[in-house]
């Protein structure tokens, strides 16, 4: 017995070490997977062309001294700062419009639509799946009739057509995960349903709301087709369309500046995700396990 | 109130003094600031509606200086002379068809819309340009491929005006071809050299994918082997012994002299692979040679320009290549009449001044109206940028380009059906099916015929061909 105990202990200990090692390997893989695009963008943005194009060079290292010429072209040779501002302007307004529509819609579907809520929710979500490459032609007519062509307001009007369905569906799942008894107790105490939503449901739904905000914001940031077809003056472009227009010239791609543009515009979104990661995961998963 | 006072903050006022404000006041100030910053987005300057205005959509030119000259110098000068505000917008070349579709759907868009590939399928939406093109043609002459890409003989309509076209010569690594003892003057030579070059780690780089470069170069192979997609009477002729031989040749080239990368070729692949020294032979506009002169000076003297290879003698031994780009302006039917007139005036003046554009484009673009650049041959034969590398005559083969270049749809016109076949990449797909052994060459050609015939029937049914 005395001989067996140390052996079992050592076996458990080696199992622990193996388990931890497997965990670390998996973690390292995920870190590599998540960080690689950023590292690649950063390396390419500061690499000389002669270094970048030489296939005998190690692509992960600076084989020649780094250069700022790509960033200079990006910031001084294009309207990149203006495009960043335009993107932020559109994204913030789209987030506000999305929340104003998706919160009441999601709540109504979760609480008031009874048996039809789920089916309606799926129906609304399905509209999100209709690709912009099909919708941009009929929407062009709408934008022209409203006199919004070549203005950022065209995007502010159109982007909610895909952010609202997605966020409604997302928030519907989230609201379902909140016990109805909380609102009922508030209403017993004299609250109207609107008060219950405002005072009880929304404060405990911050995770879900943040998830909707982040999704609406990033979907607006990365959109391409509508921005291409509705906006043509350089000063009105968003990052997603401005960068490829000025840095893909015929068949010549300015890789360093393209990567610099992608890096600079993706960092704020990455920070936003990181800051609210725990709430974001809670928001995504709470509806899923209901 | 006391609570609010406790939460008050210090802010700097307009007269540069500091003032203590409550949270409510602070929010009001912040909201007013945000509203003020949004004012330019809400307010549309009324002057826009009052001045004569001409809007032009261009691709983003591969020579940035060309856009700077066109947007910032030429159109500004023309605008001052004619009291017009000229606005030039740019989009990436791959997005030109999508944007055109949106403008047509919206019945609103740019006054002049520039295409870079055949766009005959848009003919019903465009203004007839006969009154602009024909006087210019009488004055300067016109390259046949430009006419065949912008004129419809059935409807007798000039649906576009081509100001220029871009040759698509072969770019080859002369140092490497010298090592293996060949010149890429015939497709046989390309295969023979390619086998050895692939062993040396620098294969041939001819795309077989859904991209614009593959679309052109694979047509070169069909024509050089004596095949065509249509005849001069707009009848589908792709299913021929010659096309089958062309497909067999490309399959052999793919297996023996290229790598699977060519199946994922895109518009930047030729440039990237050649400048990286990863391939030895591609077809492209001279952007590769020009980029090498600017950014890769060691490589530049080794990259040489050559006309397309001849096909096999037993199949006619033709030497034909598609144009790399056909630049053509359209005016939409829905454009207001006063702006149509303005657009046509702009085009006439632009063609009359086209020699300036030719210089700005660094030999990339050739005139569709050849008389506009009488010094072209001398200029091409003695290029100052190439002279810095001791090769002033590097581009001299381009002087023969009008003889070996032709339009999509050769020997017929670049009609609506040919434009649709081009846009849907049916020709590269036919070659890919055979190259990857999913079909035999004969089956791949039959497959292409089955895809192409309904396209021709559709456009004939619409009375456009």
The structural domain count of chain B equals 2
- Chain A residue numbers with beta carbons less than 8 Å from the beta carbon of B164 are none
Q: Are residues B450 and B309 in the same domain?
A: yes
Q: Are residues B203 and B225 in the same domain?
A: yes
The rounded distance, in Å, linking the Cα atoms of A203 and A270 is 25
Q: Are residues A115 and A167 in the same domain?
A: yes
Q: Are residues B184 and B203 in the same domain?
A: yes
Nearest one of A231, A4, A264 to A140, comparing CA atoms: A231
Q: Are residues B309 and B412 in the same domain?
A: yes
**B213 in contact with A at a CB cutoff of 8 Å?**
yes
Provide the pLDDT for residue A5.
Answer: 57
Q: Are residues B259 and B403 in the same domain?
A: yes
Min Cα distance B175 → chain A (Å) is 18
The structural domain count of chain A equals 2
Q: Are residues B310 and B433 in the same domain?
A: yes
Q: Are residues B152 and B97 in the same domain?
A: yes
The rounded distance, in Å, linking the Cα atoms of A207 and A223 is 24
Q: Are residues B214 and B143 in the same domain?
A: no
**B187 in contact with A at a CB cutoff of 8 Å?**
no
With 0-12 / 13-18 / 19 or more C-beta atoms within 10 angstroms meaning exposed / middle / buried, residue B301 is middle
The rounded distance, in Å, linking the Cα atoms of B270 and A246 is 20
Q: In what order do the strands lie in the sheet with B170-173?
A: B281-283, B170-173, B303-306
Quote the domain boundaries for residue B231: 170-322+395-461
**B271 in contact with A at a CB cutoff of 8 Å?**
yes
Of B108, B270, B275, nearest to A149 by CB-CB distance is B108
Q: Are residues A119 and A13 in the same domain?
A: no
Residue A42 lies in a domain: no
Residue A202 lies in a domain: yes
Q: Are residues B138 and B178 in the same domain?
A: no
Taking CA atoms, A275 is separated from A57, A134, A202, A280, in Å, by: 37, 35, 20, 9
Q: Are residues B192 and B116 in the same domain?
A: no
Quote the domain boundaries for residue A23: 1-33
Residue A237 lies in a domain: yes
Question: Can you give the CATH number for the domain in which B64 is found?
Answer: 3.40.190.10
Radius of gyration (C-alpha) of chain A in whole angstroms: 25
Residue B14 lies in a domain: no
Question: Can you give the CATH number for the domain in which A82 is found?
Answer: 1.10.3720.10
Q: Are residues B431 and B442 in the same domain?
A: yes
With 0-12 / 13-18 / 19 or more C-beta atoms within 10 angstroms meaning exposed / middle / buried, residue B261 is middle
Would you tell me how many other CB atoms lie within 10 Å of the CB of residue B5? 9
- Chain A residue numbers with beta carbons less than 8 Å from the beta carbon of B287 are 250-252
Q: Are residues B421 and B453 in the same domain?
A: yes
Optimal mutation site among A53, A90, A155, interface B, most CBs of chain B within 10 A: A53
Q: CB B295 to CB A49 under 8 A?
A: yes
Of A136, A230, A251, nearest to B271 by CB-CB distance is A251
Q: What angle do CA B248, B251, B257 make, to 5 degrees?
A: 130
Min Cα distance A235 → chain B (Å) is 10
pLDDT truncated to tens, each residue of chain B (465 aa)?
444 454 555 555 555 555 665 656 655 655 565 555 555 555 544 444 457 899 999 999 988 889 989 999 999 999 999 999 999 999 888 889 889 988 998 898 999 999 998 899 999 999 999 999 999 999 999 999 999 999 999 999 999 999 999 999 999 999 999 999 999 999 999 999 999 999 999 999 999 999 999 999 999 999 999 999 999 999 999 999 999 999 999 999 999 999 999 999 998 999 999 999 999 999 999 999 999 999 899 999 999 999 999 999 998 889 999 999 999 999 999 999 999 999 999 999 999 999 999 988 889 999 999 999 999 999 999 999 999 999 999 999 999 999 999 999 999 999 999 999 999 999 999 999 999 999 999 999 999 999 999 999 999 999 999
């Amino acid at each position: 017995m005395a001989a067996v105990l140390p052996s079992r202990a050592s076996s458990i200990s080696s199992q622990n070490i193996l388990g931890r090692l497997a965990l670390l390997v998996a973690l390292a893989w995920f870190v590599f997977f998540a960080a690689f695009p950023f590292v690649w963008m950063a390396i390419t943005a500061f690499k000389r062309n002669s270094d970048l194009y030489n296939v005998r060079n190690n692509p992960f290292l600076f084989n020649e001294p780094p250069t700022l010429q790509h960033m200079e072209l990006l910031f001084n040779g294009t309207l990149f700062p203006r495009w960043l501002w335009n993107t932020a302007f559109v994204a913030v307004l789209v987030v506000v419009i999305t929340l104003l529509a998706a919160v009441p819609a999601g709540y109504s579907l979760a609480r008031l639509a009874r048996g039809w809520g789920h089916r309606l929710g799926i129906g609304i979500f399905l509209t999100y799946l209709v690709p912009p490459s099909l919708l941009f032609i009929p929407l062009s007519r709408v934008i022209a009739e409203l006199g919004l062509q070549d203005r950022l307001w065209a995007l502010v009007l159109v982007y909610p057509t895909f952010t609202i369905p997605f966020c409604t569906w997302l928030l519907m799942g989230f609201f379902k995960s909140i016990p109805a008894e909380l609102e009922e107790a508030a209403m017993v105490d004299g609250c109207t349903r609107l008060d219950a939503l405002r005072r009880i449901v929304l404060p405990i739904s911050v995770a879900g709301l943040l998830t909707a905000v982040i999704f609406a914001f990033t979907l607006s940031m990365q959109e391409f087709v509508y921005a291409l077809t509705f906006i043509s003056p350089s000063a009105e472009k968003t990052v997603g369309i401005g960068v490829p227009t000025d840095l893909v010239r015929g068949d010549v791609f300015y890789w360093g500046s393209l990567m610099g543009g992608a890096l600079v515009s993706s960092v704020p979104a990455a920070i936003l995700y990181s800051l609210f990661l725990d709430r974001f995961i809670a928001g995504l998963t709470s509806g899923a396990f209901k | 109130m006391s609570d609010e006072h406790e939460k008050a903050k210090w802010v700097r006022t307009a007269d540069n003094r500091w003032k203590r404000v409550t949270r409510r006041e602070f929010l009001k100030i912040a909201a007013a600031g945000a509203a003020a910053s949004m004012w330019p987005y809400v307010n549309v300057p009324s002057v826009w509606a009052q001045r004569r205005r001409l809007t032009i959509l261009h691709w983003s030119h591969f020579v940035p200086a060309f856009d700077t000259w066109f947007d910032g110098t030429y159109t500004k000068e023309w605008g001052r002379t004619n009291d017009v505000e000229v606005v030039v917008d740019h989009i990436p070349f791959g997005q030109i068809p999508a944007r055109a579709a949106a403008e047509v759907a919206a019945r609103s868009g740019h006054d002049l819309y520039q295409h870079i590939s055949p766009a005959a399928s848009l003919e019903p939406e465009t203004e007839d340009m006969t009154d602009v093109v024909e006087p210019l043609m009488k004055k300067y002459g016109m390259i046949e491929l430009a006419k065949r890409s912008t004129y419809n003989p059935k409807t007798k309509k000039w649906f576009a005006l081509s100001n220029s076209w871009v040759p698509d010569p072969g770019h080859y690594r002369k140092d490497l071809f010298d090592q293996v003892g060949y010149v890429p003057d015939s497709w046989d030579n390309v295969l023979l050299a390619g086998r050895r070059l692939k062993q040396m780690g620098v294969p041939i780089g001819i795309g077989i994918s859904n991209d614009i470069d593959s679309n052109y170069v694979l047509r070169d192979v069909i024509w050089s082997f004596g095949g065509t997609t249509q005849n001069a009477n707009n009848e589908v002729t792709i299913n021929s012994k010659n096309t089958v031989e062309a497909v067999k040749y490309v399959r052999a080239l793919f297996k023996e002299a290229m790598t699977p990368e060519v199946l994922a070729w895109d518009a930047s692949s030729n440039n990237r692979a050649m400048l990286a020294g990863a391939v030895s032979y591609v077809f492209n506009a001279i952007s590769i040679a020009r980029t090498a002169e600017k950014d890769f000076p060691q490589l530049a003297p080794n990259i040489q320009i050559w006309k397309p290879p001849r096909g096999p003698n037993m199949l006619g031994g033709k030497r034909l290549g598609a144009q790399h780009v056909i630049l053509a302006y359209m005016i939409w039917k829905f454009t207001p009449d006063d702006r149509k007139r303005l657009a046509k005036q702009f085009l006439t003046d632009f063609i009359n001044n086209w020699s300036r554009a030719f210089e700005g484009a660094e030999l990339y673009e050739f005139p569709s109206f050849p008389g506009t650049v009488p010094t072209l041959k001398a200029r091409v034969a003695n290029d100052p940028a190439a002279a810095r590398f001791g090769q002033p005559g590097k581009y001299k083969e381009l002087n023969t380009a009008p003889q070996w270049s032709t339009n999509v749809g050769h020997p017929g016109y670049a009609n609506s059906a040919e434009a649709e076949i081009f846009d849907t990449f049916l020709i590269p797909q036919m070659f890919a099916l055979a190259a990857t052994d999913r079909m035999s060459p004969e089956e791949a050609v039959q497959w292409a015929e089955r895809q192409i015939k309904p396209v021709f029937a559709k456009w004939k049914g619409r009375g456009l061909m």
